[in-house]
Amino acid sequence: MRKPRVSRRMVVAEIIRLMNLALNPGTPVKFADRYVYLARRFSMKYKVPIPRKYRIFICKGCKRVLKPGATAVFRVRTRPKKHLYVKCLRCGHVYRRIYE
């Protein structure tokens, strides 16, 4: 087994860079999926979690990018509790994140 010679901080920086590229509105979905795939691979390989801020943009069903307006619907709903409603338009996966 090859020992990774990279620091945790570098991996986090790389994940953030990839996620920012993926979420850039000018990035085609096809490439964005690839960036998300790479970010997830980095995350798993080095056991570094993807920051929360970016995790909401990855579909929990199909693991592809959730781009507001392109591949996903993001809505803020207030009933029964204030939450963010996210629906993936490709696999139909829905999830909600409750605001604290």
Binding positions for Zn ion, rule: CB under 5 A: 59, 61-62, 88, 90-91, 93
Instruction: Name the strands in the sheet holding 83-88, side by side, starting at the edge strand that comes first in the sequence.
Output: 72-77, 83-88, 94-98
Q: What angle do CA 75, 96, 98 make, to 5 degrees?
A: 95
Least distance (Å) between residue 87 CB and Zn ion: 9
What end-to-end distance do the CA atoms of the chain give, in Å? 43
Least distance (Å) between residue 58 CB and Zn ion: 9
* Cβ nearer to Zn ion, comparing 11 with 36: 36
- Longest Cα–Cα distance in the chain: 51
* Cβ nearer to Zn ion, comparing 11 with 19: 19
* Cβ nearer to Zn ion, comparing 11 with 66: 66
Least distance (Å) between residue 43 CB and Zn ion: 18
